[in-house]
Amino acid sequence: MTAEDLQEVWGDLVGIPADPPAMRELCEKCRRPKAVCWCCHLPSTPLVTKCRVVILQHPAEEKRCLRTVPMLSLGLAPGLCHVYKGKKFPLQRHKGLEELMCAPNSVLLYPSPQSVDLSDLPRLDSGGYDSYNLFLLDGTWPQAKAIYHSSPLLHSMKEVKLLSTGNSEYVIRTQPTEGCLSTLETAALALSILEDREDVREILLKPLKALCDFQLDHGAVTHQSKEFLIKTKTYPKLIGKRLSRLLKGVDTNSDDSIEHDTCLYNEETQKS
Ligand SMILES: [Zn+2]
């Protein structure tokens, strides 16, 4: 290690706060840092729909930086959005889920060969059901597939798909948050079709639209861009590559170690 390297390492060490940074002030409702809270974009009165949404969420989904299911559950009136967590469903701890899955008016949004267009379901109040329970799998596509294959009861449900996905502008603009964004968008679109109300979709997407606009205003290409996280104070302290390698016992002159900065106090390590 050269004297220059050593000086840089010391510089990095001096820059580390002795104590972990103070907890960022979190919004009590959405539990996001106040700087990036979207609660003011929620409807002033939660939306009352005839249909219910049931989210079967892969455990990894909850840990994501940007989750959109809270936007859905806070946007809808209490009792209209149920979230169950697991890798297969139903488990004993999923109270009331089995009954919901077996209800004749429950439908699973899943693009299987036997799924029918959601728009072809009998309209509400037209001699058919007066509400639907709309089931969605929340996770990346491989996670959703894994949930589906390990949950035989799901296979006995009526499966539906969305043929007209409409404007998916927000999903594209906030890549690569594949999966979690589409859960809100999918639910909002499906509900607006089932309820025959376009305003349902507009209202539910407002927090997501606000979040996307905020990110774009801050020059963020993805929600995990370091610059964005630093600006929004969700990325407290980065350590340099050299120090990071030194701490890991990697030769600081070798270039074959991973070429990215290490986050010293990232969200995951704070939790554990
Ligand atoms: Zn909030």
Q: What's the confidence (pLDDT) of residue 79?
A: 95
Ligand 1 centroid – CA 234 distance (Å): 15
Across the chain, how many H-helices and E-strands are there? 12, 8
DSSP assignment string, 164-195: -----HHHHHTTT-TTHHHHHHHHHHHHHHHH
The pLDDT assigned to 199 comes to 95
Cβ density class 137-167: b for 16+ within 10 Å, e for less: bbbbeebbebbbeebeebeebebbbbeeeee
Residue 32 is predicted with a pLDDT of 84
State pLDDT tens for residues 117-140. Answer: 999 999 898 778 999 999 999 887
Please report where in the chains the tokens 């009861």 appear, as a residue: 153
For residue range 155-190, list pLDDT tens digits in order.
999 999 887 655 445 544 443 444 334 688 889 999
Question: Which pLDDT does position 202 carry in this prediction?
Answer: 93
Question: Which residues, in sequence order, are CB contacts of 116 under 8 Å at separation 6+?
Answer: 158, 159, 160, 161
- Ligand 1 centre distance from Cα of residue 272 (Å): 23
Mean per-residue pLDDT pooled into runs of 10, the chain (272 residues):
72 62 78 88 96 94 74 96 96 97 96 91 86 93 91 97 63 40 82 94 92 72 51 52 55 36 28 32
Which residues are placed with Cβ below 5 angstroms of ligand 1, an ion?
A: 27, 29-30, 37, 39
Return the pLDDT at 149. 96
Q: How far apart are the CA of 46 and the centre of ligand 1, in A?
A: 14
Residue 211: per-residue pLDDT: 83
Query: In DSSP terms, which residues pair with 78 in a beta bridge?
Result: none
- Please report the pLDDT score of residue 80 as a whole number: 98
Q: How far, in Å, from the CA of 188 to the mean position of ligand 1?
A: 20
* Maximum pairwise Cα distance, the chain: 82
